[in-house]
Structure 1
Amino acid sequence: MAVDDAETKNGSAWGKATGGALVTFEQVGYSLPVKSEPKGRKHILQDVSGYFEPGTLTAVMGPSGAGKTTFLDIVTGRKTQGEITGSLLFDGKKATKTFLKKHTAYVEQFDTLLGVLTVRDMLLYQAQLKCDRRESLQSKRDRVDALIVELGLSTCADVVIGDNLNRGISGGQAKRTNIGIALVTEPRIIFLDEPTSGLDSQTSCDVVSILRRLADSGRTIMSTIHSPTSEAFRLFDRLLLLHKGHTVYFGALHNKNGDASGGAVPYFAQLGLVYDPSTNLADFLITETGDKGEAANLKGLWQDSSYLADAKKHQEQLLLASIQLQANSAEAVTYLEHNMFSAVGVLLRFRSRANCKCPDFIMPRIIPSVFFGFIVSTLYYGAGGKAENPENISARGNVAAALFMSTVMPAFTAAGYMPSIVTERPLFYREQSDGCYTTGSYLLFKVIEEGFFHIFASLIFCLMTFFLIQLPGSFWWHWLLNFVTGQVGIALAYFCGSLAPNMDGANTLLPIINVISMYFAGVLMTYDAIPDAWKWFPWVTFMRYGWTANMLNNFPAECEMPLLAATPGCPTEYWGLKEGSSGLSVENNFGALCGFWALWLGLTFLVMTFVRHVKR
């Protein structure tokens, strides 16, 4: 990976030399309320102390259950539950949300990328969302190009990332792309959660080599890591070793010459835990701090060690120097974040443009309308012309059934729009935590994007059904009612997708609501036949209003032949359209549909804002 090419274009492949920040943590603890535990609390972390120094690469290790991920969530400000104790300072100050968003970056263990974008577009998309709005697009492009060169992504820069079903870039390339996403904002501190997880030994070493160079550029780098290779582990400077929530070692990993004869090795040797240089040092440390660590009381030995005293003394010196440096430095330049609508513009420009080229995205939104439009149109072909005669009771009943299917079909095909809310959830959580956009921005983007595609889907369906069935009403009302009913169905699908913890739950919840609503929409049971205990339900189902409006668009509001009032020849009387709806007005029932659309979107917004399916 050549650095020179990138440096000649943008000064430095890693961006501006902003330097890192000193992160100090003193007696950090974390606990959760558990009734079965002593004093009603379960302690996950206790008295964890240390620091992350600019220009160093620190590893956080420990056996399973040691508290590595919990500690990482605390220092990155992503813990959403439990009680945190102790002191956590960034350059001697408590970090604000603005500081964390602007000066820190977090690379998650699992890659959260958009499979429809290329590597270059993914990095530019993130740069557009995260960087100062006043910065020119060309400047962001130059930064992305430099990152692509330095991260060794040149060969796959214009390759679509892909997903589980569509082949794209490799796992190592995806991990480096994830690191690139963190670097687009030129952060001072980078936190990583097991960046080598799932990678082969060579790829793991390549990833850690990138982290090594980032640290050498002056940044503060901290990474949890599990079972690294000897080559990768050798690139780290410091080690924070945890065992069941307690610190059992913090300090240099190697001596100044970079070999294992100094640092952690002599400390554990004096405890009787001798390292064999022919083996992997990381494996040795994990093994010795497993069950053996508890038997050897490594926690107590660390508390009494001179290594801990030296670490505290050095931490105090670093903190004083950092505070003095901050006092003498100029105030940081502020940056302009995206507002709600500018963030929506970025989402549409990158994600919607890519989705327009993706058959996997388009087909589930268009094909059902074509298929059901063909079925309904051919099944009720010409029924509308015959239904103009009120005495043709059979034809009027068929038209009512066709309009019923035109109403419920958009609600059921909305299931094709629901998966995106569930499958994009990890990306939504990550981008929201990174300060890319608000819940309102994301939801508005989804409404615009899905509404655009639904315009064409509903037009195809309505062109087929209106002219082949020969409906007597207004085509534009027929299309508008179908489109808005579909939008209500999509909003309901969003609500189910956001409320359910997974796709299985969403696929169960949406059909239940739609099927129950279908019983009360009108055709399957007249209003008079509904039991008194259930007569309230038609008022709260959007399908009733949609079907009523469709019926009034095609049939007179008043009965033409009173003698037929007890038959479908007089639809208004027979199905009781005056009840369980907004009266005998197309406009009023259309307004009610719009109200349901706003209601389900509002509920979706509340769920996405206050319900977190991933608790940290």
Structure 2
Amino acid sequence: MATQRVDIESQSSRAQTLTCSSIFNKVDRHISLKFHEVVYTVKIKKIGWMKKTNNLQTLEKQILKGITGMVVPGEMLAMLGPSGCGKTTLLTALGGRLGGNLNGTITYNDKPFSSIMKRYTGFVTQDDVLYPHLTVTETLVFTALLRLPKDFTSHEKVMHAEAVINQLRLTRCKNIIIGGPNLRGVSGGERKRVSIGQEMLINPSLLFLDEPTSGLDSTTAQRIVSTLTELARGGRTIVMTIHQPSSKLFYTFHKVLLLSEGNSLFFGKGSDVMAYFDSIGFSPSVAMNPSDFLLDLANGISSEDSSCSDQNEMKQKLGLAYKSNLDENLKAEVLAVNNDIHVNDVSESMKHERWMTTWWQQVTILLRRGVKERRHEFFSTIKISQVIAVSFLTGLLWWQSKTSHLQDQSGLLFFYTGFWGFFPLFQAIFTFPQEILMLEKERASGMYRLSSYFVSRTLGDLPMEMVLPTLFCIITYWMAGLKPTFGSFIYTLFALLLSVLVSQGLGLALGALVMDQQSATILGSVIMLSFTLAGGYYVQHVPAFISWIKFVSISQHTYKLLIGSQYEHDQTYQCGNRTCLVEDFPAINSVGLDGQVTSIAILVVMLVFYRVIAYLALMRIGMPGN
């Protein structure tokens, strides 16, 4: 009983702490970031105009050219420079998210980046990648459920999200949707604070931000940076890129790194930057914003007008001055082990568990989030109206057709295969291309397994994928006067739903492989048209050299199952003045009434195969894992 009482009191105390504590409190683990001679090179393939492909040349371009620096807990480092100077590339490299030809040394507490270190690292991208139809509260709560440890209860995670909302002053808009380009929601500053809040949920010791004030007015930008300053005071290490901050913002930065064309022009205290450039002969002719002055220098523009050649000469002079005055001392400081900074060894104090939640928890949370985000699609009036309208039109055109009208009935069954081949295919093609940015962001943060996302996304799409064809079949089957037995209706519905799932799988595979909606749509149209033409209705005598298409045709196997649901061997129909066998009718004889089990097996194999292809294609996105 005593042990149970202690556990209950412990949980109650922790819940109270989550509710009342501030996210600006000191972190338990401090991280000192050092980077030495960081070089990043990309390969550029160049081919001349009207040249053959064997004249293809591969050129190398250095984006980062030996960048060195360090930032310790409690400090905020701002990386400045003109567009294309390498700020975002360097930030991505420091955040452990840059692959490719990266050289140099980047250490965290004098150790390389690891999956354990990722637990204590937050990364806020320049573009706020958020679900537009979720509210601020829903966005942060679902993030908390995924990113906080599994030993926290769901209630504690929700309270933690509420604490972040309060501390980031998002209470006023907590029940407003995020919004998007064509959907009214929260303001730009509030959206940026939501993005920061998603990272603050894990109480990161190291926080990276890419252009956190981009596109914001000066007042909103000031609030964002003030928030970051408070976070730094709690012992966090903060690194950000920023384009052109105001004077007030500039002097809040503890350290400044000025980049120009991948080279360092200055690294040191923000309060020392003007004095440094004045000491090497560069000072503004009039009082001006320090960041404006630094950007002019990085662009090779002095206080006087300069020609293009003088600008290059000036950049070289600034680079040489940096190497002569700052570079050697900075490298010595970075390479030295600083015993004055007390840092906790993250790897020793952290359990070596890769995922914060179990696989099943991830599936259920992602499923709930996906349903909330896409509920407007699930209950789309346009989509439902489209299917109902086509259903009644089909039922009226084939109204109470009889077996004697075998051409009409077989045409209706093949229409089933065509309509429900293209409809789910195009719906599924857009699935992954529309979520690529979100998947990259969350996978890079290690929020969940790829398999959890894939299973939840597939399950979340089942309602619309199953409900609409079922509604279509119920309406058209009885209006068209198909075989009036319950068993035949169930078999028809089974064949239709199986075809829908296979077509959806093909769409998922194409979308994941191509990741371009227009290209995937064109490719999907060509493939499905090929399947339709080889489906056995339009062409009964397919040439041998191309007849293999019918064996992989979704339309062929679906049409065979639908024919089998309506007709039997030795069944006859009235053809003119005589009686003919149904199985001898050309549109039926081409596919035959035999081999029903084989077609079902082939469709099941396709259902699994296409989804496996889609999953394997998605594995290249974000961090590796399953």
TM class, shorter-length = 0.7 to 0.9
Quote the Cα distance in structure 2 between the aligned partners of 1:156 and 1:251. 39
Question: Percent same amino acid among aligned pairs?
Answer: 24
Distance 1:250 1:157, change over 3 A: same
Shift in Å, 1:45:
1.1
One-letter amino acid matched to 1:380: W
**Quick check: 1:422–1:503 contact (8 Å CA) kept in 2?**
yes
Identify the residue that residue 475 of structure 1 maps to in structure 2. Answer: 489
User: 1:490 and 2:504 equivalent?
Assistant: yes
Give the corresponding residue for 2:470.
Answer: 459
Shift in alpha-carbon separation, 1:9–1:607, aligned structure 2, 3 A: closer
For the pair 1:51 / 2:70, whether they are aligned, the reply is: yes
Shift of residue 551, structure 1, vs aligned partner: 0.6
The total of aligned residue pairs comes to: 581
CA contact (8 A) 1:374 1:464 kept: yes
Alignment of 1:410-421 (within 5 A): 410-414=420-424, 415-421=426-432
Structure 2 matches for 1:214-225, cutoff 5 A?
214-225=231-242
- Per-residue deviation, 1:291: 3.0
Specify the code of the residue in structure 1 equivalent to 2:456.
F
Deviation string for 1:211-254 (max 9, x for gaps)?
Answer: 11111111110001112222222221111111111111111011
Question: Which residue of 554, 559, 564 corresponds with 1:542?
Answer: 554
Residue 422 of structure 1 pairs with residue 436 of structure 2: no
Aligned to 1:243: 260
Selected match of 1:372 from 390, 393, 397: 390
Distance change (3 Å), C-alpha of 1:520 and 1:327: closer
| Deviation readout 1:445-482 (Å, 9 max, x if unpaired) | 12111112222112211110111112116111111111
Deviation at 1:85, TM superposition (A): 0.9
Alpha-carbon distance in 2 for matches of 1:517, 1:57 = 59
The CA deviation string for residues 23-82 of structure 1, in whole angstroms up to 9 with x for no partner, is 10111111123477999532111211111211111111112221111111211121233x
Give the conservation status (yes or no) of the 8 Å contact 1:25–1:49. Answer: yes
Q: For 1:551, which of 558, 563, 581 is the aligned residue?
A: 563
Instruction: After TM superposition, list the pairs within 5 Å mapping 1:555-570 onto structure 2.
Output: 555-558=567-570, 560=572, 570=582
Q: Does the CA-based 8 Å contact 1:29-1:85 persist in structure 2? A: yes
The residue number in structure 2 matching 1:505 is 519
**CA–CA separation in structure 2 for the residues paired with 1:557 and 1:90:** 74
The answer on whether the counterparts of 2:492 and 2:561 sit within 8 Å (CA) in structure 1 is no
Q: Which letter does structure 1 place at the counterpart of 2:432?
A: I
Cα displacement (A) at 1:427: 0.3
Q: Following the alignment from structure 1 to structure 2, what is the Cα–Cα distance between the partners of residues 224 and 540?
A: 52
Instruction: Give the equivalent residue in structure 2 for 1:259.
Output: none
Q: Which amino acid in 2 is paired with 1:438?
A: R
Instruction: Determine helix, strand or coil for the equivalent of 2:31.
Output: coil
Within 5 A, what are the aligned runs for 1:501-540?
A: 501-526=515-540, 529-540=541-552
Contact 2:440 2:621 in 1 (8 A): no
The one-letter amino acid of 2:298's match is T
Q: What CA distance in whole angstroms lies between the structure 1 residues aligned with 2:152 and 2:613?
A: 36
1:173 aligns with 2:193: no
TM-score, normalised relative to structure 2: 0.87
| 1:92–1:319 Cα contact (<8 Å) kept | no
Alpha-carbon separation, structure 2, partners of 1:512 and 1:56: 57
2:154 aligned residue? 137
5 Å-filtered alignment, 1:297-316, equals 297=316, 298-305=318-325, 307-316=326-335
- Cα deviation for residue 607 of structure 1 reads 1.4
CA RMSD of aligned residues (A): 2.8
| Alpha-carbon separation, structure 1, partners of 2:537 and 2:270 | 75
Aligned amino acid, residue 154 of structure 2? L
Residue 596 of structure 1: aligned partner: 606
In 2: Cα distance, 1:229 partner to 1:42 partner: 33
Query: 585-594 or 364-373: which moved more?
Result: 364-373
The whole-number CA distance in structure 1 between the counterparts of 2:147 and 2:620 is: 23
Deviation by residue 1:80-109 (Cα, 9 ceiling, x = unmatched): 33x111111000101112322x01011011
Contact 1:242 1:248 in 2 (8 A): yes
Q: What does the per-residue CA deviation read over 1:120-178, in whole Å, with 9 as the maximum and x for residues that have no partner?
A: 11001111111111211122122111111111111110111122222111111111100
1:494-533 Cα shifts (integer Å, max 9, x gaps): 122222242222222222222221111122121xx21222
Q: Scaled by the length of structure 1, what TM-score is found?
A: 0.88
Q: Which residue of structure 2 lines up, in the alignment, with residue 435 of structure 1?
A: 446
1:87 aligns with 2:105: yes
Task: Give the 3 Å change call, closer, same or farther, for CA 80–363 of structure 1 in structure 2.
Answer: farther
**In the alignment, which residue of structure 1 is the partner of 2:141?**
124
Aligned to 1:158: 175
Question: 1:199 Cα shift?
Answer: 1.5
Q: Tell me which of 207, 215, 223 is aligned to 1:190.
A: 207
Q: Choose which of 583, 587, 594 in structure 2 pairs with 1:584.
A: 594
- 1:119 maps to a residue whose letter is V
Question: Secondary structure at the residue paired with 2:104?
Answer: strand
Among candidates 164, 169, 175, match of residue 147 of structure 1: 164
Q: Find out whether 1:267 has 2:276 as its counterpart.
A: yes
Q: Decide whether the 8 Å contact of 1:14 with 1:183 is kept in 2.
A: no
Alpha-carbon distance in structure 2 between the residues aligned to 1:592 and 1:573: 25
Contact 2:30/2:343 (8 A) holds in 1? no
Instruction: For residue 365 of structure 1, report the CA deviation from its aligned partner.
Output: 5.2
Q: Using the TM superposition, give the Cα deviation of residue 191 of structure 1 relative to its aligned residue in structure 2, in angstroms.
A: 0.5
- Which residue pairs with 1:64 in the alignment? 83
Separation (CA, whole Å) in 2 of partners of 1:557 and 1:188: 73
Structure 2: any 5+ residue segments left out of the alignment? 1-15, 47-55, 302-310
Q: Give the equivalent residue in structure 1 for 2:23.
A: 13
* Residue 309 of structure 2 corresponds to residue 287 of structure 1: no
Query: Whole-Å Cα distance in 2 between the matches of residues 197 and 402 of structure 1?
Result: 56
Distance in 1 (CA, whole Å) between partners of 2:106 and 2:533 is: 58
Alpha carbons of structure 1 residues 242 and 489: separation in structure 2 relative to 1, 3 Å: same
Q: Confirm whether residue 253 of structure 1 aligns to residue 286 of structure 2.
A: no
Shift of residue 411, structure 1, vs aligned partner: 1.8
Query: Can you list the C-alpha shifts for 1:344-371, whole angstroms capped at 9, x where unaligned?
Result: 1111122213433x25764465344323
Aligned 8 A contact 1:24 1:88 in 2: yes
